[in-house]
Chains A and B, each alone.
Chain A
Amino acid sequence: NAGVTQTPKFQVLKTGQSMTLQCAQDMNHNSMYWYRQDPGMGLRLIYYSASEGTTDKGEVPNGYNVSRLNKREFSLRLESAAPSQTSVYFCASSWGAQETQYFGPGTRLLVL
């Protein structure tokens, strides 16, 4: 039981490049989330998917898109990376919107 997995672990991009962060969970959870963590800011929700087939914006969605590919997988795409998107990105999942969220190991992204 791997829990929540994320790829890649670390990525360096140049401004304007695009990339997709992958997240998968094997706990049969319905809800999945993408957060970014910045020093002194805590975790801020980018997008979430309450159930397969639905996605909603969180607190800081600008510059990102998401795809809930199936129940297991939830990807985050940066179409044109900017230095302000340098951050650590965490994926999480939960049974339902009210339940405990379980976090992946994170992706550290540096945009030059």
Chain B
Amino acid sequence: AQSVSQHNHHVILSEAASLELGCNYSYGGTVNLFWYVQYPGQHLQLLLKYFSGDPLVKGIKGFEAEFIKSKFSFNLRKPSVQWSDTAEYFCAVKPNQAGTALIFGKGTTLSVSS
């Protein structure tokens, strides 16, 4: 079965530190890739997505992610985090195959201290 792994359950950083959240998936075919963010008490919002083209995608609020097909990875990065980035981050993968659903990772909680 397809799955999405987010390696870090909880990440704690100080403001201005750099961030990288890992995401790997298990599916050999073509995929669409997403990162969603959930701020405390709010619903999920799209940070960025990759469908095709340049494997380095830029999203909102200074986030970016790189798709490395050979590693089945789609890691999220931000050069300098802010306190307001404190949230839960979800990687999601949609195989380009009829009848398959969007698969979410278990999420990574990011806590940024000021």
For residue B34, CB closer than 8 A to chain A, the reply is yes
The answer to whether B106 and A40 have CB atoms under 8 Å apart is yes
**In the bound complex, do residue A42 and residue B90 qualify as a contact, i.e. CB atoms below 8 Å apart?**
yes
Interface size class for chain B?
Answer: 20 to 34
Do residues A103 and B105 form an inter-chain contact, with CB atoms below 8 A?
no
CA A44 – CA B4 in complex, angstroms?
12
- What separation, in Å, do the CA atoms of A40 and B105 have in the docked complex? 10
Q: How many pairs, one residue from A and one from B, have CB atoms within 8 Å of each other in the complex?
A: 44
Asked if A98 contacts B32 (CB within 8 A), the reply is yes
Please, which residues of chain B bring their CB within 8 A of the CB of A100? 34, 46, 49
Q: How far is the CA of A44 from the CA of B90 in the complex (A)?
A: 12
Known A43-B90, A90-B44, A106-B43; judge A101-B106 contact (CB<8 A): no
* Chain B interface residues toward A at CB < 8 A: 9, 32, 34, 36, 42-46, 49, 51, 90, 94, 96, 98-99, 101-102, 104-107
